C-alpha cells in the first residue's frame, strides 16, 4: 500500500493524473498551504532584489510615474473582485530594466516583475493589462508553487520555505521563474482568468489576445513561446471567452500609456 501511495503521489505531481481536465481541483493540486506561497514569494523576491546582475531592477527614484502607472493598473485588476487571495498575497509590482527582453513573470505570493522591453514593445494599455491579468492568475491559482515542486522537488522547495535550504537554491528558483513552463491547462486557465478579471475594468477584456497576435509575428518570437500552447489557438480562445462573457472589447485610451513609454525611452 505504501508503494502504491508513493506512485500515486508521483503521478499527480508529474501532471499525468488521468482525470477530466475540467476538474480544476485535480489540475490545481498543490501540496503546499497558501501560507507557504507567501513565505516562498518573500524569499524569492528578496533574492531578486539582491541579484542585480540577472535582475537589474529599475530604481523607483526618477521612475515614479512608470511605477505609479503599473501599480494603478494592477490594483484595478485586483479590485475586480475576481482574484483569489486578493488580501493574502503581496501583489507588489517591480520593473526590470531590460529593453531586450519581452517578458513578465510572477512569483508565488504575488510579486510581479515586468521587463521594460515588454512595456516598450506593446502597442496599447489593453495588451499590457492582458499580460498583467495573466500573471496575476498564475499567482492566484498558485501555479508557480506546483510547477516549482515538479522542477525542484517537494523536499527542496520545503527546505526553502522553512529557511533550511542550501546556499544558492533560492537563486536557482528565482532564475527558473523567468522561463517557467506551465501546463496547457494552467496556461488556458490563466488566459481565461485574465478575461474574467479585465471584464470588470476599463480595459479590453481580450487584451491578452492582442499581445499574442503581435508577439507571434516577430521574426524571432521569445523563447518562452516554444514551451507554451500555440499563440494562434490562445488568441481564438481568449476572444471567445470575452464574447461568451459579454465583456467589453473596446480599446482603452492610450494617452497615459504612450506617455509612460516615452518616459522609459528617454531614461538613458
- Do residues 172 and 51 touch, judged by C-beta distance below 8 A? no
Q: Which of 6, 1, 26, 24 has its CA nearest to residue 154?
A: 6
**Bigger pLDDT: 242 vs 23:** 242
Average pLDDT over residues 118-146: 95
Determine the Cα–Cα distance for residues 266 and 268; give it in Å rounded to an integer: 6
Is pLDDT at 177 greater than 90 in this prediction? no
pLDDT of residue 124: 94
Q: Which of 98, 100, 92, 42 has its CA nearest to residue 70?
A: 92
Instruction: Indicate the helix (H) or strand (E) that contains 113.
Output: strand 111-115
Contacts of 152 (CB under 8 A, 6+ apart): 169, 172, 173, 176
Q: Which of 138, 181, 105, 141 has its CA nearest to residue 30?
A: 141
The residue with cell 520545503 is 158
Give the range among 82-86, 122-126, 140-144, 226-230 with minimum mean pLDDT: 226-230
Q: Which of 139, 55, 36 has its CA nearest to residue 97?
A: 55
Amino acid at each position: 500500500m505504501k508503494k502504491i501511495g508513493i506512485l500515486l503521489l508521483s503521478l499527480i505531481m508529474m501532471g499525468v493524473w488521468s482525470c477530466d481536465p475540467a476538474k480544476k481541483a485535480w489540475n490545481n493540486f498543490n501540496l503546499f498551504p497558501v501560507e507557504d506561497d507567501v513565505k516562498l514569494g518573500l524569499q524569492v523576491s528578496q533574492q531578486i532584489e539582491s541579484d542585480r546582475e540577472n535582475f537589474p531592477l529599475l530604481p523607483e527614484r526618477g521612475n515614479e510615474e512608470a511605477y505609479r502607472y503599473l501599480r494603478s493598473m494592477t490594483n484595478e485588476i485586483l479590485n475586480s473582485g475576481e482574484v483569489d487571495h486578493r488580501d493574502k498575497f503581496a501583489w507588489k509590482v517591480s520593473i526590470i530594466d531590460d529593453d531586450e527582453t519581452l517578458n513578465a513573470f510572477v512569483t508565488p505570493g504575488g510579486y510581479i516583475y515586468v521587463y521594460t522591453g515588454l512595456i516598450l514593445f506593446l502597442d496599447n494599455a489593453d495588451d499590457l493589462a492582458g499580460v498583467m491579468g495573466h500573471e496575476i492568475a498564475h499567482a492566484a491559482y498558485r501555479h508557480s508553487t506546483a510547477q516549482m515542486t515538479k522542477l525542484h522537488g517537494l523536499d527542496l522547495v520545503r527546505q526553502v520555505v522553512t529557511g533550511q535550504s542550501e546556499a544558492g537554491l533560492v537563486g536557482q528558483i528565482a532564475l527558473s521563474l523567468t522561463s517557467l513552463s506551465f501546463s496547457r491547462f494552467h496556461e488556458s486557465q490563466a488566459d481565461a482568468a485574465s478575461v474574467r478579471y479585465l471584464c470588470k475594468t476599463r480595459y479590453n477584456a481580450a487584451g491578452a489576445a492582442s499581445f499574442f497576435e503581435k508577439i507571434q509575428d516577430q521574426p524571432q518570437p521569445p523563447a518562452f513561446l516554444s514551451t507554451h500552447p500555440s499563440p494562434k489557438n490562445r488568441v481564438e480562445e481568449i476572444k471567445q471567452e470575452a464574447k461568451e462573457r459579454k465583456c467589453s472589447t473596446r480599446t482603452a485610451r492610450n494617452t497615459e500609456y504612450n506617455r509612460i513609454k516615452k518616459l522609459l525611452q528617454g531614461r538613458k
